[in-house]
Amino acid sequence: MILWLTLAVNSIALGGLLFLLSAGFSLIFGLMRIPNLMHGSFFMLGAYFGVTFLSKGMNFWVAALLSGAAMAIIGGLIERFLLRRLEGQVLPQVLLTLGFAFIIGDICLMAWTGDPWQPATPDHLRGAVQVAGLFFPVFRLVIVGVAVIIAIALWLMVDWTRLGAMIRAGVDDAPIARVVGIKVSQLFTLIFALGAALAAFAGVIGAPYLSVYPGLDFEMLPLALIVVILGGTGSLLGALVGSFLIGFLYNFGQAMFPDLAYVILFLPMLLVLVLRPQGLFGRVVS
């Protein structure tokens, strides 16, 4: 019983992290139709930045925000100066982002060596809270809390603000949105930077829990991919549901069938592809 509950808490925490990672991926994919294969690299590079800031004695949340800001700038620059030139060309976009994923991966290996880094959980988030005679680690709960807050903020932004309305207009019909005066290109850069920042932020938050090591980038990328295929592209709700589903499958799969855990992860994706190719919450594009 205790084991299952611990697993459930871990699953929800991983789901929260995955949501932060895949929300940006989903927005970038949904709005810009860019398959951003360096999203896992943003996560890893952000985590490495955070680890470095933390080792300088910085506050945990400041380090996470700073790392997110740094990645927003890097992501924005890549979008503005390289990806922008390839608008509408899928293959070149894939190759460019894949190329950057390799470059970032190798630079991280050079700069931070091959040893895993695991920053200590910040002091005020250590320990556990006791609820109904059971102990829950505070830090995992905080991760979930942060993810939920960001999910709500993103939902409010997309559904209830002028900016969100412009984004939705850009998703639905970019040429017409341009005609009515929405600067779609600037929105693209903004969304891309936001996605990169969210990934980096997730990387720092996840670092005390997952630790940071070479190869983390290509481990997270397929997870973001599955979440988006599951939930449907461009759908925040889909990303949220998909993330928690994958979080549960990952942890329970690893506990029950350690050999096949990685394969089990992909089963819901296969089912969704066969039964509902647009994803659980995706819309059919006419």
Partner 1 sequence: MSRQHLRNAAIAVAIALLATLPAWVGNAYYVNIASQILFWAICALALNVLVGYAGLTSLGHAGLFAMAGYAAGLMLQAGHGHAFAIISALAVTLASTAVFAVLALRATGIGFLMITLAVGQIIWGIAYRWASLTNGDNGINVSTRPAPFGLSLASADGFYYATLVVFLAALATMIVFVQSPFGASLRGTRDQERRMNALGYNVWLIRFCAILFSGVWTGVAGLLFVYYNQFISPQVAALTTSAEILLMVISGGTGTLLGPVVGAAIVVIMKNVVSAYIERWNLVLGVIFVVIITFMPEGLVPGTVRLCRYGWHKLASRGSRYTKIGDRAL
Site residues for partner 1 per CB under 8 A:
29, 33, 35, 37, 82, 85-86, 89-92, 94-96, 98-107, 110, 218, 222, 225-226, 228-229, 258-263, 265-266, 269-270, 273-274, 277
Nearer to partner 1 by C-beta: 69 or 264? 264
Q: Which CB sits closer to partner 1, 89 or 186?
A: 89
Q: How far is the CB of 113 from partner 1 (least distance, A)?
A: 13
Radius of gyration of the chain (CA): 19
CA distance to 227, 250, 262, 278, 282, per residue, from 274 (Å): 16, 21, 20, 10, 14
Give me the least distance between CB of 205 and partner 1, in Å please.
24
Burial label, 85 (beta-carbon count in 10 A; 0-12, 13-18, 19+): exposed
The residue (of 95 and 129) whose beta carbon lies closer to partner 1 is 95
Sign, CA dihedral 94-95-96-97, equals positive
Q: How far is the CB of 110 from partner 1 (least distance, A)?
A: 7
Toward partner 1, which CB reaches closer, 65 or 219? 219
The DSSP secondary-structure symbol of 129 reads E
Nearest distance from C-beta of residue 216 to partner 1, angstroms: 13
Return the DSSP state at 85.
G
| Residue 46 contacts residue 108 (beta carbons within 8 Å) | no
Comparison of 2 and 274: residue with beta carbon closer to partner 1: 274
What are the two backbone dihedrals, phi and then psi, of residue 123, each rounded to the nearest 5 degrees? -50, -50
Smallest gap from Cβ 161 to partner 1, in A, equals 28
